Amino acid sequence: MTEAEITAAFGQHKDAVYRFAWRMTRSPSAAEDIAQEVFLSLLTHPERFRGERGTLRAFLLGTARNISLKRWREQNRWDPLEDHDFVAQPLDPEGQEIGEYVAGAIALLPLLQRETLILAEYEGLTLEEIAHAVHAEVGTVKSRLHRARENLRRMLAPLKPVNRSCTWNR
Amino acid sequence: MEPLNDRELNQILQEWRPPATPSSLGRIPPRMPWWRWLLVGTIRIPVPVGVAMLAGMALLLFFMASGRKQPALSESPRQVSLKPVRVVSLADFQPVNQLQPRIIGRANEGN
């Protein structure tokens, strides 16, 4: 990739990379650092992107994922990445806006379920692209996404119209 | 409590909206020149490697320090050899006139 192509890629994909990093970290400053690191990495090692293996967007989101994971590992050295026994309970929505409530529920998911859900639901990557980005099999990604959605169904159950006992701030 | 169905979940997930990308992320970060890296760059060293390097440096310093002391030790015998040597003459050495051997039994060994 030439420097001009990298600059064009920055303009085109920086929002997606920032958005993904923000959803993973929930910190604007950390998301900005991660986004900068992603494009700096592309500038330093452009040969790492191979067009035949997927889209540039998926590649950049995969790089952002790796950097987020590295940062998470530094802060949570002993926590498991994937918790198969994690069973979500309905959350108490008292005094929260729906957006915050959803963010809180997603943050409670085990990391590998969370990143899969964000890449699929918010960034619209296909299962194959996610599998490539997170270095896993398509079947594994499918299973993580399924478990993430099942957990969220339960955690966010108080938002179901028939379960609502209070009015919501939108 | 009844869980959400697929449609409800998809709808509710869209309520979590990200903030706008900050303007500080408006341009691609410049690549750091190699000489600047020498001034401000960092490297990560695994703990065992760091400990081994520190231990190696400590040993090196120890041997360097003990190596300096060695010449001082080797000088001391030379200083001794510079002292005047007393010459012993055998001129006055005379054999005894009469030998008087005493046989001491085991019982009187203490005497």
Tens digits of residue pLDDT in A77-121 = 777 666 666 766 677 767 678 888 899 999 999 999 999 999 999
The pLDDT value given to residue A159: 84
Determine whether the interchain pair A152/B17 forms a contact, defined as Cβ–Cβ distance below 8 Å.
Answer: no
Please check whether residue B23 touches A, CB under 8 A: no
pLDDT surpasses 70 at A5: yes
The pLDDT value given to residue A114: 94
Determine whether the interchain pair A14/B17 forms a contact, defined as Cβ–Cβ distance below 8 Å.
Answer: no
The pLDDT value given to residue A2: 82
Please check whether residue A32 touches B, CB under 8 A: yes
Mean pLDDT of all residues belonging to chain A? 87
A135 or A164, which is more confident: A135
Which pLDDT tens digit goes with each residue over B54-108? 999 999 999 998 877 655 555 555 555 566 667 777 777 788 888 888 888 887 7
The pLDDT value given to residue A167: 46
Please check whether residue A35 touches B, CB under 8 A: yes
Whole-number percent of chain A with pLDDT over 90 = 55
Residue A28 structure tokens:
């604007």
Q: In Å, how far is B37's CA from the nearest CA of chain A? A: 13
Cα separation, A113 vs A118, whole angstroms: 9
Q: In Å, how far is B47's CA from the nearest CA of chain A? A: 14
Q: What is the mean pLDDT of residues B46-59?
A: 95
Which uninterrupted H or E stretch holds B56?
A: helix B47-81
Across the interface, which of A28, A43, A162 has its CB nearest the CB of B31? A43
Q: What is the mean pLDDT of residues A14-32?
A: 94
The pLDDT value given to residue B40: 81
Domains (range + CATH), chain A: 3-75 (1.10.1740.10), 81-170 (1.10.10.10)
Which pLDDT tens digit goes with each residue over B74-85? 555 555 556 666
The pLDDT value given to residue B87: 78
DSSP string, A78-122: TS-S--TT--------TT--HHHHHHHHHHHS-HHHHHHHIIIII
Please check whether residue B42 touches A, CB under 8 A: no
pLDDT surpasses 60 at A21: yes
A151 or B41, which is more confident: A151
Chain B residues with CB under 8 Å of A73 CB are: none
Provide CB contacts within 8 A for B1, sequence distance 6+.
Answer: A90, A157, A158, A160, A163
